[in-house]
């Protein structure tokens, strides 16, 4: 009867996982107007229902009903906790929900750095603790993205503390276990491990249940990540708009134009046209991709206005763009804010400020470097500019930090995690800010390499 009950649980786990995944795909397809995804999801749901109905007929009606009700309740509860991501509190709650649905003695959950929660089991038989860094076996599961089993018997066991050189097997640890990766966007972000009292408990049913729970958690973590990215995107766009409409720049420019209306009306009209074009492009480009050539044109427009304010001899700019890179599509305002930072924070009281913009390819990536020979900054200040907490930034660097963090966020959003923003600076000598746009090299560049 116990084996039949396990089969019923196994079938229900599989159905629950498929249903959650397919409903999520269906909703995603409808929200994003992806008809193909929606149709595939709808067909999958139909197959899911048919297969589910035939599989569960293999077990008695009362067990089938109990297992279905239990698994739907567990799935709903797990979803509520995974909506908050992988935290110590959420993992503890999820572990408590999952443990009764398996024959495991304990469940251990981790992110990709440390263990977050341990549920059940005898504390003396589990050598890791919440907050410990993950051991090599768990790291291997995260690296490979594949479920793995382990058995007790050697120093390299999962249960052996990685930094314990005096380890002596005592025969007290749980002898076997299963480690399942939690995968979001094809990358493992954590694990859930099931520990058992003896090897006979780890049969094909338990392995499938473990994998099913891993897939269920992964699906729900993926939904959480999509929500989080949407929130970050909305926040980044608001920051972008706030950073672009700088009231000081607005008032200073209007005052400059007003002054020229008396001394040089022709130049005043020219500046007014440039200023109008600058702000029109600012509003148009805040939420769209544009060719890099347009972003550089907007930057030149900004510098022309600042030259009128400070004097033609106070700002010297140069620009070099590798052929083909001018066509690369970029989010609006990833270069101009960096140049603006140079003008606002690097300019000396006397003498010119030189600003040089270089755009080159580096393999499949595109590098955009903005260098100035201004005041520069210490390494500590440069590091703090990209930190999330603006409270730790110095008063003079706070505005620059907001602009640079905004650029860094949008780079990761549009070009992925391998994209970044780096700052190199030396007091009294200048600063270089380099943007890496991962896999953004133009196709013409790829053809030349081949």
Q: What is the mean pLDDT of the chain?
A: 76
**Across 100-113, average pLDDT:** 90
Q: Evaluate if residue 2 carries a pLDDT over 60.
A: no
What pLDDT sits at residue 241? Answer: 55
Question: Of 14-18, 320-324, 402-406, which has the strongest mean pLDDT?
Answer: 320-324
pLDDT band per the 50, 70, 90 thresholds, residue 16: low
What pLDDT sits at residue 224? Answer: 76
**Distance, CA of 155 to CA of 173 (rounded, Å):** 12
Q: Which segment of 186-195, 217-226, 287-296 scores lowest on mean pLDDT?
A: 217-226
pTM > 0.95: yes or no? no
Q: Evaluate if residue 384 carries a pLDDT over 50.
A: yes
Comparing 237 with 327, the larger pLDDT belongs to: 327
**Across 58-76, average pLDDT:** 58
pLDDT band per the 50, 70, 90 thresholds, residue 314: very high
What pLDDT sits at residue 152? Answer: 57
Beta strand spans in 62-216 (E): 106-111, 115-120, 148-151, 176-184, 187-196
Q: Evaluate if residue 80 carries a pLDDT over 50.
A: yes
What pLDDT sits at residue 168? Answer: 36
- Per the DSSP assignment, residues forming a β-bridge with 372 are 355, 431
What pLDDT sits at residue 220? Answer: 78
**High-pLDDT (> 70) share of the chain, %:** 68
Comparing 401 with 172, the larger pLDDT belongs to: 401
What pLDDT sits at residue 390? Answer: 38
Comparing 62 with 377, the larger pLDDT belongs to: 377
Beta-strand pair 353-362/315-321: parallel
Question: Which phi and psi angles does 45 have, rounded to 5°?
Answer: -65, -40
Comparing 79 with 359, the larger pLDDT belongs to: 359
**Across 247-273, average pLDDT:** 87
- Please list, in sequence order, all residues whose beta carbon lies within 8 angstroms of the beta carbon of residue 119, skipping any fewer than 6 positions away: 92, 95, 96, 99, 106, 107, 108, 109
**Distance, CA of 443 to CA of 364 (rounded, Å):** 9
Q: Evaluate if residue 242 carries a pLDDT over 70.
A: no
Number of helices (H) and strands (E), helices first, in the chain? 13, 12
Q: Evaluate if residue 66 carries a pLDDT over 60.
A: no
Nearest to 448, CA basis, from 324, 290, 340, 347: 324
**Across 180-189, average pLDDT:** 88
Q: Evaluate if residue 419 carries a pLDDT over 60.
A: yes
What pLDDT sits at residue 287? Answer: 54
Question: Which phi and psi angles does 378 have, rounded to 5°?
Answer: -75, 165
């Amino acid at each position: 009867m116990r084996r039949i009950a396990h089969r019923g649980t196994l079938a229900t786990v599989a159905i629950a996982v498929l249903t959650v995944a397919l409903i999520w795909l269906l909703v995603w397809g409808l929200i994003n107007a992806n008809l193909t995804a929606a149709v595939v999801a709808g067909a999958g749901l139909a197959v899911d229902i048919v297969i589910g109905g035939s599989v569960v007929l293999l077990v008695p009606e009362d067990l089938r009903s109990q297992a279905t009700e239990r698994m739907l309740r567990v799935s709903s509860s797990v979803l509520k906790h995974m909506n908050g991501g992988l935290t110590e509190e959420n993992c503890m709650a999820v572990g408590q929900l999952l443990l009764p649905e398996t024959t495991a003695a304990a469940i251990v959950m981790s992110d990709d750095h440390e263990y977050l929660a341990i549920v059940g089991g005898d504390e003396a038989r589990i050598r890791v603790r919440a907050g410990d860094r993950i051991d090599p076996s768990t790291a291997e599961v995260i690296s490979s993205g594949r479920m793995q089993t382990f058995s007790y018997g050697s120093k390299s066991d999962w249960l052996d503390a990685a930094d314990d050189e005096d380890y002596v097997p005592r025969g007290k640890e749980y002898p076997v276990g299963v480690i399942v990766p939690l995968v979001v966007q094809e990358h493992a972000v954590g694990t859930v491990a099931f520990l058992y009292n003896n090897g006979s408990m780890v049969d094909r049913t338990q392995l499938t249940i473990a994998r099913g729970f891993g897939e269920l958690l992964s699906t729900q973590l993926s939904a959480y990540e999509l929500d989080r990215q949407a929130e970050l995107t909305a926040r980044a766009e608001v920051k972008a708009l706030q950073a672009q409409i700088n009231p000081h720049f607005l008032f200073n420019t209007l005052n400059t134009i007003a002054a020229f209306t008396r001394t040089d009306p022709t130049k005043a009209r020219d500046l007014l046209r440039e200023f109008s074009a600058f702000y029109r492009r600012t509003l148009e480009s805040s939420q769209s991709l544009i060719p890099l050539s347009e972003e550089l044109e907007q930057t030149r427009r900004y510098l022309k206005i600042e030259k009128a304010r400070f004097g033609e001899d106070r700002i010297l700019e140069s620009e070099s763009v590798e052929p083909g890179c001018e066509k690369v599509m970029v989010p609006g305002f990833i270069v101009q804010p960096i140049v603006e930072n140079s003008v606002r924070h690097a300019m000396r009281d006397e003498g010119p400020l030189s600003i040089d913009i270089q755009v080159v390819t580096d393999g499949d990536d595109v590098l955009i470097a903005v260098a100035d020979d201004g005041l520069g900054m210490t390494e500590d200040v440069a590091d703090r500019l990209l930190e999330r907490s603006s409270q730790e930034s110095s008063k003079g660097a706070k505005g620059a930090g907001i602009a640079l963090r905004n650029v860094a966020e949008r780079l990761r959003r549009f070009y992925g995690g391998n994209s970044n923003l780096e700052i190199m600076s030396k007091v009294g000598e200048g600063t270089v800010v380099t943007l890496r746009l991962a896999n953004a090299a133009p196709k013409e560049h790829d053809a030349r390499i081949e």
